[in-house]
A = this chain, B = another copy of it.
Amino acid sequence: MSDAPSLPIARQQSVRLVVERLLRDRAVSRAELARSTGLSKQTISEVMRDLERDGWVREDGQVQGSVGRSAVTYALRPDAAFVLGVDLGGTKLHVALADLQGEIVAESIEPTSGDGGAAVVAQIGRMQESLLQQASVPAQRLRGGVMGSPGIIDPASGSIVIAPNIPGLDSLDVRAALRERLGIDVAIENDVNLAAIGEHWRGNSRKARSFAFIAVGTGIGMGIFSDGYLVRGARGAAGEIAYLPLGGDPYDTRGLRLGTLETAVGSVGIVERYLGLGGVPGGTVRDVFDRLDSDEAARVAIDEVSRILASAILAVHCILDSEIIIMGGSIGVRPELKLRIEEYLGRCMRQPVRIELSALGNRATLIGAVGSAIDLVHRSLFGIGRDAGPLALPAMATDVAA
């Protein structure tokens, strides 16, 4: 905090090099730091003295080299700062408090307030205070946060353009309101994009620099990583595959309104399809899946949905050449669906793309929010990867690439 603004450029650079190294390996000795950064031993000593004085690092054990004096190793203090991750859904509001290592120290879920944007901001504020108290974290240690929300977020301003589920959220300057109420800067990002970030950080696409996360549930959406960077698009609407012209006629007015693909494979579409095939009325998507083995209509319906999803994945893969596709969302994580999609993919691709189920399930957005928040805090404190835009996450804590 006190160092970033005032320190001269040269020292900032040195600090940055040291911190970047410390982010990769938990415990590093001063001598090792000197070797790997190319700085001299004294420079390292000085930097470490300052970092330790300000509470950013601490001694963390020793290391016995085969011969010679043993070295004291240093590690970042996970409790040097904390971040807030928020998953704002239409029905549930999930807030987590985590330290700089990504360890969640407190979290809570509440039904989302139905009284509009300002009430939701106040609710988040109350939950934040409760979590801070619960984990005995002083408020000034909280250094930033990220909130995921359905809808479209303008990449330039970071404000919500379209918020489908929460009335009055798009008319409010949520970011300013959150800063006012919480006392920290909170970046806002599309929930599916954050889920993709979560899977990249702690999930099933950790090693992939190019992948897509497809969420199939009530609606359908996608988060895209390309070369390790989140793809947002010109207006923050990249990955809105609800409107893909597959599974129906894109010139139909209904597809124009709700999205052709979403109409075909969203939860409403699946149930309608099942009924159209003579299925038993009065059930949900869950029931359709449960009847897969006994009910021919269910089998055919899910088969058709899988076929459409496979062609959507083919389309995505053609355009993005992703290394892996992660399936998420309440419907997307069903293994029965994955099996069928893989079968169809085998019939329309020479080298079918790898499909994996989300490892984080309904926590993906929350974990992505925490990960992004940690990255943002690192960036603001040490200027790491400052050339990259916010939430680009190329130098993320777990990114092992040199």
Question: Given A226-B231, A251-B347, A256-B350, are A245 and B315 neighbors across the interface (CB < 8 Å)?
Answer: yes
A242-B349 Cα distance, complex, nearest whole Å = 12
A236 beta carbon closer than 8 Å to chain B = yes
A-side interface residues, number (CB < 8 Å)? 53
Kindly list chain B residues whose C-beta atoms are within 8 Å of the C-beta of A320: 231, 233, 238, 319
Which of A44-52, A117-125, A296-304, A385-393 touches B? A385-393
* B318–A227 touching, CB < 8 Å: no
List residues 166-208 of chain A with CB under 8 A from any CB of chain B: 208
A277 within 8 A of B: no
Contact with B along A306-343 (1 / 0, CB 8 A): 00000100111011111100000000000000000000
A387 and B385: CB pair below 8 A?
yes
Q: Is the CB of B251 within 8 A of A321?
A: no
Do residues A319 and B321 form an inter-chain contact, with CB atoms below 8 A? no
Identify which of residues 208-225 in chain A touch chain B, using a CB-to-CB cut-off of 8 Å. Answer: 208-211, 222, 224
**Are B222 and A319 touching (Cβ within 8 A)?**
yes
A243 at the interface (CB under 8 A from B): yes
Nearest CB on B from A40, distance (A):
12
Please tell me if the beta carbons of A224 and B319 are within 8 angstroms of each other in the complex: yes
Q: How far is the CA of A311 from the CA of B238 in the complex (A)?
A: 17
Q: A348-B255, A385-B387 are in contact. Are A231 and B235 (CB under 8 A)?
A: no
- Which residues 4-29 of A sit at the B interface, judged by CB distance below 8 A? 9-10, 13
Indicate whether A229 reaches chain B with its CB closer than 8 angstroms. Answer: yes
Q: Within the assembled complex, what's the spacing in Å between the Cα atoms of A137 and B385?
A: 39
26 A-B residue pairs with Cβ-Cβ distance under 8 Å, sorted by A, are A10-B10, A210-B233, A210-B234, A224-B319, A226-B232, A226-B233, A227-B231, A227-B389, A233-B320, A233-B322, A235-B323, A236-B321, A239-B319, A240-B318, A240-B321, A244-B314, A244-B319, A245-B246, A245-B314, A245-B348, A246-B315, A250-B311, A315-B319, A319-B319, A319-B320, A387-B387
A163 at the interface (CB under 8 A from B): no
Contacting pair A321 B389 (CB below 8 A) = no
- Complex: how many Å from CA A250 to CA B317? 13
In whole angstroms, what is the CA distance A232 to B319 when docked? 10
**Which of B9, B226, B232, B315 makes the CB contact (< 8 A) with A13?**
B9
- Among candidates B209, B236, B315, residue contacting A244 with C-beta atoms closer than 8 Å: B315
User: Measured between C-beta atoms, what is the minimum distance from A117 to chain B in Å?
Assistant: 24
Most buried by B among A232, A238, A255, A316: A238
Chain B residues near A105 (CB-CB < 8 A): none
Complex Cα distance A98/B385, Å? Answer: 33
- Complex contacts, A388 vs chain B, CB 8 Å: 387
For A256, the chain B residues whose CB sits under 8 A away are 347-350
Cross-chain contact A348 with B231 (CB below 8 angstroms) = no
Given contact pairs A210-B233, A255-B348, A256-B349, a sample of 10 additional A-B residue pairs in the complex whose CB atoms are under 8 Å apart: A9-B13, A210-B232, A226-B233, A227-B232, A234-B321, A239-B321, A244-B319, A245-B246, A251-B348, A319-B319
Provided the pairs A210-B233, A315-B319, A387-B385 are in contact, do residues A238 and B226 lie with their beta carbons within 8 angstroms? Answer: yes
List of B residues within 8 angstroms of A347 by Cβ: 251, 256
Check if B314 sits within 8 Å of A234, measured CB to CB.
no
A13 contacts across to B, CB distance below 8 A: 9, 13
Chain B residue at minimal CB-CB distance from A321: B233
Q: Which residue of B lies closest to A226 (CB)?
A: B231
**Could you say which residues of chain B place their CB within 8 Å of the CB of A226?**
226, 229, 231-233, 238
A20 to chain B, nearest CB (A): 11
